[in-house]
Structure 1
Amino acid sequence: MGKDKLRKFAEVATFENVVQLDAGKEYKGQWASNFFGNDKPIILELACGKGEYTVNLAKLFPEQNFLGIDYKGNRIWRGAKTALEEGIKNVGFLRIQIETILEHFAENEVSEIWITFPDPQPQDSREKKRLTNPKFLERYKFILKEDGIMHLKTDSDSFYAYTIEQIEALSLTKFKETTDLYKSDLVDEVLSIKTYYERKYLSIDKEINYVQWTFKK
């Protein structure tokens, strides 16, 4: 690991808005009250990377709480540092493997989940790692409120198609969907937030896929 990554790992451990690994289990069922100090809704960004979506959503919606989740502390560092520097109080970060999410959140604790440009895990042998495979969807359903909302933004056409297949196989309700977000009528101030990776994809004219759904039938 390079010196810069090591520095960021060390620094992120001192950030008051970052919770790491097993420490997050202490907040299970109490993220709003014990971490944010309020009773506002909890919104998650999974595989948040540098946390651009988490931070920008928090700016747009101060009446809600936002948690970015990723395992790579050197990436979380950027979003967490920005939030601290700008005094954004309704945003935090949790460094865990997403596979362990049920150890950190209680049933019906979360109002909304964003999945933004995750690794599509294209190899068939890595299907179980895809963040919208049935086992992950079961976990999200458990921690989401009954009317909770799911969002996916991805440049990967194959991963998007896979996700649509899972949604339809489970007969879930889709609210919005497009295979070319920026040529659709869906773009608003929320969907126009761009991550580091999204900017890279757009610079080479890749189309962005988006789908919004719920587990409530």
Structure 2
Amino acid sequence: MRLRNKPWAKEEMSKYPHIVIPNPKECKGNWNKVFGNNQPIYVEVGTGKGQFLSGMGKLYPNINFIGIEKYDSVLVTALERIKETKQENVKFLNEDVENLLEFFADNEIERLFINFTDPWPKKRHEKRRLTSEGFLRLYEQVLKPGGDIHFKTDNQGLFEYSLHSFSKYGMILNNVSLDLHQSDIEGNVMTEYEEKFSKKNMRIYRCEAVYRD
């Protein structure tokens, strides 16, 4: 992904600390206080420009959503979306998912979304894939018992790898779709990439992976 540098992005985000949380380590274990309610918390890693979380926040006002995105030049677009819609149940972290345990306590999250992540196709980069064993271990720690991952990608190789990774880790696979937009799965909210790919009639792969209690 080529990024257009926006040197003003960090300063802009700093003006909205109620949307882009400036010190997420201080919120660990207390995210319900940040939102001001006891609603379930869902997290998207690699949230991009925020189209997915904005859409989810509108559909599910009784759920709190947190998007993690390390590129500030991308996240500033997500900020603009939420500023316009004034959605109080969507927050962002300008952080790296590798540091997930610094921001969330054990069992603090109920669901995690991974959408159109970098496939890192070379074998030597396997550990960077967000569905590799190391990341699954991180997610398991912050998710509640029986929590799940919802995963979407346009990359068949990454999807096959992820199904194997989930299964090898002992997770239960549900609603596996080899062509999401031709399936009967309801309530799908598209990301920016998904919208772009669907217009080209590209196949979208999706599954849900549940951690065992």
TM-score (norm 1): 0.92
Which residue pairs with 2:66 in the alignment?
67
- Structure 2 unaligned runs (5+)? none
CA distance in 1 between counterparts of 2:68 and 2:212 reads 24
Shift of 1:77: 1.3
CA distance in 2 between counterparts of 1:19 and 1:123 reads 34
Shift of 1:78: 1.6
Q: 3-state DSSP class of the match of 2:92?
A: strand
CA distance in 1 between counterparts of 2:5 and 2:72 reads 12
Q: Which AA in structure 2 matches 1:7?
A: W
Which residue pairs with 1:25 in the alignment?
25
Task: Work out whether residues 42 and 67 of structure 1, in 8 Å CA contact, stay in contact via their aligned partners in 2.
Answer: yes
CA distance in 2 between counterparts of 1:4 and 1:133 reads 29
Q: Which AA in structure 1 matches 2:66?
A: L
Q: 3-state DSSP class of the match of 1:19?
A: coil
Which residue pairs with 1:5 in the alignment?
6
CA distance in 2 between counterparts of 1:38 and 1:46 reads 22
Structure 1 stretches of at least 4 aligned residues deviating more than 3 Å after TM superposition: none
Q: 3-state DSSP class of the match of 2:29?
A: coil
TM-score (norm 2): 0.94
Q: 3-state DSSP class of the match of 1:67?
A: strand
Which residue pairs with 2:201 in the alignment?
205
CA distance in 1 between counterparts of 2:167 and 2:110 reads 22
1:138-173 superposed Cα distances (whole Å, 9 cap, x missing partner): 010010001212100100101100100011112311
Which residue pairs with 2:45 in the alignment?
46
Shift of 1:8: 2.5
- The answer on 1:105 being equivalent to 2:81 is no
What is the identity percentage for the equivalent residue pairs of Structure 1 and Structure 2? 31
Which residue pairs with 1:117 in the alignment?
116
Q: Which AA in structure 2 matches 1:101?
A: L
Which residue pairs with 1:194 in the alignment?
190
Q: Which AA in structure 2 matches 1:6?
A: P
Task: Work out whether residues 154 and 160 of structure 1, in 8 Å CA contact, stay in contact via their aligned partners in 2.
Answer: yes
